[in-house]
Amino acid sequence: MTEIIDRPAETVTIEPIAGYLGAEVAGVDLRYELDRATRRLLTDALYEHKVLFFRDQEIDHAAQIRFTGYFGPVTDAHPLGYTDKSPAGYPQVLEVDSRTYASRSGSRQYSYANHWHQDVTALVNPPAITVLRAELVPEVGGDTTWADLAAAYEGLPSSLQRFLEGLYAENRFGGREPRWVRGSESDAVTSATPIISEHPVVRVHPVTGKKLLYVNPGFTSRILGLRPAQSDTLLDLLFAEITDPAYTVRIRWTPNSIGIWDNRATIHQAPSDLGHLDVVRVLHRTTVEGDVPVGVDGRPSRSVSGEPFYARSA
């Protein structure tokens, strides 16, 4: 698996699939190490299109970790140490396996978060990039949808943009209303290790410089400096904006497909159309270490509780 195929980058095609974000990539074989030109091209494409999809990539965990590493240092699976969800020898891989969820919760569940979210914005440095590889997916159903947080910001009236740029919001597991049951494993783990951070409501993307509407229903619990009712009303408005279908792309998984997304510039929604079907869905997630967000005023995010989540040093 160390063979380097000196594949000219111009053989790679990148085809946009929605108005704001999302592209399908062809002409890349992830079984082999990619040359520098192709890696550069894919990195640029990721920041441009925010979600890239690769089809028919029959690779293993090691190759997925190598691919993820092209975009930055690869972290362990999860800051709450869900190592029992990682395959043996690959602590970087988080298993998204409907069979595991079913045995834990006693009911059908196809993802640990069946609602709109960014990955782990409870952290002071949420993952920059996420990779998800499909192993077993149903013939129909189980699509993932992403939305473009820069487009959502740019779609706001300028008066509202200016107002939001001075605000910061608290992010914690579960957001305003944790969806898990009291006494469940999720309840126990998140209570035992509280991870809480304050992020700018408008974040400046460190690579593209774009302003992002940086809140999400999965983690954002309140806007600082507002009364609870005001915070809830404003969050309702912002959540409606960032989940406007106009800003989304919905992608169908196929076996051996790989999705990679900019976790700073997008939110995503796991499927909720499978509960009535008797199907299995198994995907493998890896993440790239993130930076600490910075607001328009240059102020960085602040950790209220919990440590930054770094990739382990080589």
Piece of the chain touching Fe ion by CB under 5 A; list 4-12, 111-119, 197-205, 249-257: 111-119
Contact of 216 with 267, CB cutoff 8 Å: yes
Residue 108 C-beta: closest distance to Fe ion, Å = 18
Piece of the chain touching Fe ion by CB under 5 A; list 79-87, 114-122, 186-194, 237-245: 114-122
DSSP conformational letter for 85 = G
- Residue 170 found at the interface with Fe ion (CB under 5 A): no
Contact of 94 with 286, CB cutoff 8 Å: yes
Nearer to Fe ion, 49 or 285 (CB): 285
Length in residues, the chain: 314
The residue behind tokens 């605000």 is: 167
**CA atoms of 118 and 262, how far apart (whole Å):** 10
Q: Residue 139, class by beta-carbon neighbours within 10 Å (0-12 exposed, 13-18 middle, 19+ buried)?
A: exposed
| Residues with Cβ within 8 Å of residue 111, at least 6 apart in sequence | 96, 101, 270, 271
Asked if 117 is an active-site residue, the reply is yes
Residues in the interface with Fe ion (CB under 5 A) total 1
Contact of 1 with 31, CB cutoff 8 Å: yes
Catalytic option among 49, 66, 117, 281: 117
Nearer to Fe ion, 119 or 170 (CB): 119
- Residue 241 found at the interface with Fe ion (CB under 5 A): no
Considering only 95, 97, 119, 241, the residue that binds Fe ion (CB under 5 A) is 119
- Residue 262 found at the interface with Fe ion (CB under 5 A): no
Catalytic option among 66, 76, 78, 119: 119
Contact characters 63-102, Fe ion, x per CB under 5 A: ----------------------------------------
> Closest-CB residue for Fe ion?
119
Return the bridge partners of 259, or none.
53, 132
Q: Which two tokens stand for residue 191?
A: 């209570």
Residues that bind Fe ion (CB under 5 A): 119
> Which residues carry out catalysis?
117, 119, 268, 285
